[in-house]
């Protein structure tokens, strides 16, 4: 074997003693070791005693991801999934070991991590508070059984009926009706538009968990009028929900424990007095 001259030996010792040289060859060595591991796993398939060194492969994979992320971020004009010089394009995957290519999936994932989070729901006072009213008298509670109109005309009656609707998971009907009543009292155009938008999002939109049951004709009219809403934009829908509560929920309310307990309590107090 021919011997190297002294000058060549000094040159090799000088250059290969630099750490930067080994960092350039390090990915190549790791790629060879990875290919050797894959080859070994393929040969040992079916052998229950052969268990691949998953921990070592996983640690190396994570290290290479960290090395590739800064490269993808610092590349000027680089776009996620866009192929270019020294790039595999959108088909490159996270199992790429060579530093000469930039995995597009790493760039996309890194950008998703840096994307600011947006709250899914804005904070608002969406549930109207219970109406303030004096305690109902025995005469008033007896009048509720005469008609639905007499129940809904008093704040105490609406509170009692709303409490019952909550037990049936249909409180949104009363909340929608009350919101429409509040909208009718407004005169300012900007406030009307804002309240109409909130009512629409809370009770008309099919994406709302508190959506009320309306037919398609009423929905179409509301959708057209939402361009320039007025305080009476929901009148047809309010009437439809009022009729629904009258025919469906009101008879059950009269036979509910909420109404019977209140009536019994007031009757006992009347007898004691």
Q: Could you state, in order of their start, the residue ranges of all structural domains in the chain? A: 137-270
Q: Does 109 or 69 have the greater pLDDT score?
A: 69
Return the half-sphere exposure (C-beta side, CA atoms, 13 A cut-off) of residue 25: 6
What the block records as the tokens of 160 is 């009692």
Task: Name the nearest CA neighbour of 265 among 94, 161, 135.
Answer: 135
What pLDDT is attached to residue 55? 46
Do 141 and 266 meet the contact criterion of CB atoms below 8 Å apart? yes
pTM of the model: 0.54
* DSSP conformation class of 245: I
Confidence of residue 125 (pLDDT cuts 50, 70, 90): very low
> Residue written as tokens 């530093």?
99
Q: What angle do CA 214, 216, 217 make, to 5 degrees?
A: 100
Confidence of residue 24 (pLDDT cuts 50, 70, 90): low
Do 168 and 253 meet the contact criterion of CB atoms below 8 Å apart? no
Q: Does 265 or 34 have the greater pLDDT score?
A: 265
Confidence of residue 131 (pLDDT cuts 50, 70, 90): confident
Architecture of the domain spanning 137-270: Orthogonal Bundle (1.10)
CA distances from 71 to 22, 78, 124, 181, 254 (A): 19, 10, 44, 61, 72
What pLDDT is attached to residue 12? 60
Q: Does 240 or 22 have the greater pLDDT score?
A: 240
C-alpha 81/C-alpha 79 separation (Å) is 6
Mean pLDDT of 3-12: 66
Q: What is the DSSP string of 94-161?
A: TT---TTS--HHHHHHHHHHHSPP--SS-----SPPPPP-PPPPHHHHHHHTT-HHHHHTSHHHHHHH
What pLDDT is attached to residue 139? 95
What pLDDT is attached to residue 84? 44
C-alpha 100/C-alpha 88 separation (Å) is 10
Q: What is the pLDDT of residues 163-209, one digit of tens each?
A: 999 999 999 999 999 999 999 999 999 999 999 999 999 999 999 99
What pLDDT is attached to residue 73? 47
Do 69 and 106 meet the contact criterion of CB atoms below 8 Å apart? yes
Confidence of residue 123 (pLDDT cuts 50, 70, 90): very low
C-alpha 215/C-alpha 236 separation (Å) is 10
Question: For all residues of the chain together, what is the average pLDDT?
Answer: 73
C-alpha 1/C-alpha 29 separation (Å) is 26
**Is the pLDDT at 226 greater than 70, yes or no?**
yes
C-alpha 27/C-alpha 153 separation (Å) is 80
Q: Does 160 or 27 have the greater pLDDT score?
A: 160
What pLDDT is attached to residue 272? 78
């Amino acid at each position: 074997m021919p011997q190297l001259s002294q000058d060549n030996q000094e040159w090799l010792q000088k250059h290969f003693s630099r750490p930067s040289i080994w960092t350039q060859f390090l990915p190549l060595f790791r790629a060879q070791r990875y290919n050797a591991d894959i080859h070994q796993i393929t040969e040992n398939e079916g052998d229950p005693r052969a268990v691949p060194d998953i921990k070592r492969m996983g640690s190396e994979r994570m290290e290479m991801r960290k090395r590739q992320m800064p490269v993808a971020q610092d590349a000027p004009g680089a776009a996620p999934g866009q192929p270019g010089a020294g790039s595999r394009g959108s088909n490159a995957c996270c199992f790429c070991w060579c530093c000469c290519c930039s995995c597009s999936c790493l760039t996309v994932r890194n950008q998703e991590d840096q994307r600011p989070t947006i709250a899914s729901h804005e904070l608002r006072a969406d549930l109207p508070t219970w109406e303030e009213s004096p305690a109902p008298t025995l005469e008033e509670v007896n009048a509720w059984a005469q008609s639905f109109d007499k129940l809904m005309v008093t704040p105490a009656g609406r509170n009692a009926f709303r409490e019952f609707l909550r037990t049936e998971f249909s409180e949104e009907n009363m909340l929608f009706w009350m919101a429409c009543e509040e909208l009718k009292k407004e005169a300012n155009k900007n406030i009307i538009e804002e309240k109409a938008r909130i009512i629409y999002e809370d009770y008309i939109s099919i994406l709302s968990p508190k959506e009320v049951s309306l037919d398609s004709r009423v929905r179409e009219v509301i959708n057209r009028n939402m361009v320039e809403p007025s305080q009476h934009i929901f009148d047809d829908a309010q009437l439809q929900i009022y009729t629904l509560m009258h025919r469906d929920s009101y008879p059950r309310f009269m036979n509910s424990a909420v109404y019977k307990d209140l009536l019994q309590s007031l009757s006992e107090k009347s007898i004691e007095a």
